[in-house]
Structure 1
Amino acid sequence: MQFEVKGKDTQSKARAGKITTDHGVIETPIFMPVGTIGTVKGVHQTELKNEINPDIILGNTYHLYLRPGTQILEKAGGLHKFMNWDRNILTDSGGYQVYSLSANRKIKEEGVKFKSHIDGSMHFFSPEFSMDIQRSIGADIIMAFDECTPYPCDYHYAKRSMHMTHRWLDRCINHLERNPPIYEHNQAFFPIVQGSTYKDLRRQSAEFIASREAVGNAIGGLSVGEPAEELYGMTEVVCEILPEDKPRYLMGVGTPINILENIALGVDMFDCVMPTRNARNGMLFTAYGSINIKNKKWEDDFSPIDEMGITWVDTYYSKAYVRHLFTVNEMLGKQIATIHNLGFYLWLTREARKHILAGDFREWKDKMVKQMNNRL
């Protein structure tokens, strides 16, 4: 994997970059739609590719391990072929999902024992096993196995967890060196910075991760309930340490405003379930604020969903019609909202890139943040 910085903003830390892998180019900043189980919910691959047009999407190690399982994925030739997606894929290692199963898992130095959320069966993930699963999935970018701490988190627990994550990282690296990719394309490996919301731990973790000289680096353990000010504060601390010549990926973030503010701090890559999950609940994001399409005020509003939108659904359907679909619980409403929201998120990061290259990102970002704070 190669990364080039193509331009920098003079009034912030924002930068426009280009990542090149065996499955093509990723222009940054980029939002990566979440396709947890081999599909972005509610969106056909043709719509995903032709309308939303992301350079990269996500899959998840934990969920794909449970269903369909590595045996099926290997028989298919990897996730790219299984889901008929010829662009980039990134896989989360399963660490966050294990974190979310707090009532049904036990963490030890060796790894994590947990109960499946599907049938209650017991499973064990070690750093090495997580790497094996990601080899079977065949994503272009794979993540280190880490522990994601909750918020709030006791300092001593956060410190112990961070050091264990660092030890797990070295186990991941050693295992990957002994076990090369199993398909005909390379896999880039990203370690993950942890340390909760403690600046000294975040600095220590960022320095440790930077010392491993991976081709890219991720920031984890944020957007788990902490205030936005702490999210931005921790991101700023970490981005000051992580090398400038490597892409920086802020995991699980977030709202459109979160994304713009973190681009300004030097982050290149984002993912979040928010645009798809909120779409299924009737929330539409736009450049002028968010819309709860289920509100009665849209009942007789026959204007387009979003006249400025980039996908075909934005001007093809009216607000009144989409509200009607949600009112009668028709799945088409959720599909339309999902396509719209993902299209908006991709538009937002690509517009940010344009303004970084044009030299007026900070001014544009401040205007957009003010606009998007509205509830329409």
Structure 2
Amino acid sequence: MINNLNFEIISKDGIARNGLLHLNHGTIKTPAFMPVGTGGCVKAILKRDLEENGAQIILGNTLHLWMRPGMDIIQSHKGLHNFIQWQKPILTDSGGFQVFSLKELCKITEEGVKFASPINGSKLFLTPEKSIQIQSILNSDIVMIFDECTPYQIGSHIITMEEACDSMKLSLRWSKRSMDEFKRQENKNFIFGIVQGGFYENLREESINGLLDIGFNGYAIGGLSVGEPKEYLHQILEFISPKIPDNFPKYLMGVGTPEDIVNAVYNGVDMFDCVMPTRNARNGWLFTRYGNIKIKNSKYKNDLNNLDPTCDCYTCINFTRSYLHHLQITKEINASMLNTIHNLHFYLNMMNEIRESIHERKFDIWKKNFLEDRSSNI
């Protein structure tokens, strides 16, 4: 099964599927997790270690790279791949979620978003056209449309259907403008639409149908993991995923925990990104097969065991929990580096196991065992 993005589904187990996503800087195996390198750098880990741990594709952010270092610097390097010396695929978020996070500091109009730079206070104006122009300069393998991320609530106010509808329809209009600009740029890469609509199923379906009418290379599910109750995330995901045609890659944005990813794969999702493994690593929160470890807790001070007995990453092979505890407590830079190596290895190895289990038609068994192991809390 193949479409114009050269996305092949090579095996399925129920709704879960293995695929090959052929991009201009290489082919990635799906389901895939994308480490987040917002400003052109995945924090606290070297490119060498990313590659050694099996990262296939990373994510950058349009808004942050536009503000710093700026497009003149990126152009002088002939694109983001050369600037950061990463010659594998890159997906760039359009800046829509960052606008969402700056909501109180920006003004959203039909034309675009006006806001003050959080770096130097300069006045900026980001439009769908500008976002696509920036991503074309970055030479992103996968370009994301510029959208408005609909929140679950603002303060104590739950977003109403009318408010979610207005936001979703604005995103659809911006999606069309994004695609028109993508074509004007004669971009040879690929572009994904983003499904919005809050937590209202009828709006999500309207968003999907509108995006399919425009015609993108793949489809992302946005507006989740924005403060909603966990059951809402699963409910909306189960509703949305089957309504996106199977011959397109499906990308769940900004999610999430290992458990969330496993359940999303079960619902046919192919691509994921989240800051959780790297951000949690820097804060001493480590993922293991048998539950999460807060390494700065005093009980690890004299613990001579390796971090995760099932893990073969550089950190687990070489260092004890006691040493990692010491680094975290004394705020050594090496704590962030070693913790990040482990957490990303955990996520990327989890995706390897998922792909293998789908290929062997054993995903249900693997999923059951994995979730049971994770809840055992060593």
TM-score, scaled relative to structure 2: 0.96
Counterpart selection for 2:6 from 2, 9, 13: 2
The offset of 1:71, in angstroms, is 0.7
Measured against aligned partners, the alpha-carbon deviations of 1:114-169 in whole angstroms (never above 9, x if no partner) come to: 11111222100010000001011111001000000111322111100100100001
Q: Which residue of 2 aligns with 1:167?
A: 173
Measured against aligned partners, the alpha-carbon deviations of 1:63-94 in whole angstroms (never above 9, x if no partner) come to: 00000001100111111000001100000000
Asked if structure 1 preserves the Cα contact closer than 8 Å seen for 2:7 and 2:249, the reply is yes
Residue 240 of structure 1 aligns to a residue whose secondary structure is helix
Alignment of 1:285-300 (within 5 A): 285-300=287-302
- Partner Cα distance (2:79, 2:377) in 1: 42
- Alignment gaps of 5+ in structure 2: 154-158
Asked if structure 1 preserves the Cα contact closer than 8 Å seen for 2:300 and 2:322, the reply is yes
The offset of 1:311, in angstroms, is 1.9
Q: Which residue of 2 aligns with 1:55?
A: 56
- Partner Cα distance (1:22, 1:310) in 2: 31
The offset of 1:211, in angstroms, is 2.5
Q: Which residue of 2 aligns with 1:211?
A: 213
Q: Which residue of 2 aligns with 1:343?
A: 345
Residue 82 of structure 2 aligns to a residue whose secondary structure is helix
Q: Which residue of 1 aligns with 2:145?
A: 144
Residue 217 of structure 1 aligns to a residue whose secondary structure is strand
- Partner Cα distance (1:287, 1:303) in 2: 14
Asked if structure 2 preserves the Cα contact closer than 8 Å seen for 1:62 and 1:94, the reply is yes
Q: Which letter maps to 1:303?
A: N
TM-score, scaled relative to structure 1: 0.96
Counterpart selection for 1:224 from 212, 223, 226: 226
Asked if structure 2 preserves the Cα contact closer than 8 Å seen for 1:290 and 1:374, the reply is no
Q: Which letter maps to 2:110?
A: E
Q: Which residue of 2 aligns with 1:156?
A: 162
Q: Which letter maps to 2:101?
A: S
- Partner Cα distance (1:352, 1:256) in 2: 11
Counterpart selection for 2:34 from 20, 32, 38: 32
- Alignment gaps of 5+ in structure 1: none
The offset of 1:374, in angstroms, is 4.2
Structure 1 residues 345, 23: CA separation in 2 closer, same or farther (over 3 Å shift)?
same
The offset of 1:370, in angstroms, is 2.5
- Partner Cα distance (2:111, 2:78) in 1: 30
- RMSD over aligned Cα atoms: 1.0
Instruction: Say whether 1:114 aligns with 2:115.
Output: yes
Q: Which letter maps to 2:11?
A: G
Q: Which residue of 1 aligns with 2:106?
A: 105
The offset of 1:189, in angstroms, is 0.2
Asked if structure 2 preserves the Cα contact closer than 8 Å seen for 1:105 and 1:113, the reply is yes
Counterpart selection for 1:202 from 201, 204, 214: 204
Asked if structure 2 preserves the Cα contact closer than 8 Å seen for 1:303 and 1:319, the reply is yes
Instruction: Say whether 1:260 aligns with 2:262.
Output: yes
Asked if structure 2 preserves the Cα contact closer than 8 Å seen for 1:210 and 1:243, the reply is no
- Partner Cα distance (2:143, 2:289) in 1: 32
Asked if structure 2 preserves the Cα contact closer than 8 Å seen for 1:37 and 1:60, the reply is yes
Identity %: 45
The offset of 1:238, in angstroms, is 1.2
After the TM superposition, which segments of 4 or more aligned residues of structure 1 sit over 4 Å from their partners? none
Q: Which residue of 1 aligns with 2:75?
A: 74
Q: Which letter maps to 1:77?
A: K
Q: Which letter maps to 2:25?
A: H
Residue 191 of structure 1 aligns to a residue whose secondary structure is strand
Asked if structure 1 preserves the Cα contact closer than 8 Å seen for 2:289 and 2:308, the reply is no
Measured against aligned partners, the alpha-carbon deviations of 1:32-77 in whole angstroms (never above 9, x if no partner) come to: 0000000000111111112x22110000001000000011001111
Q: Which residue of 1 aligns with 2:184?
A: 178
The offset of 1:213, in angstroms, is 2.7
- Partner Cα distance (1:285, 1:175) in 2: 41
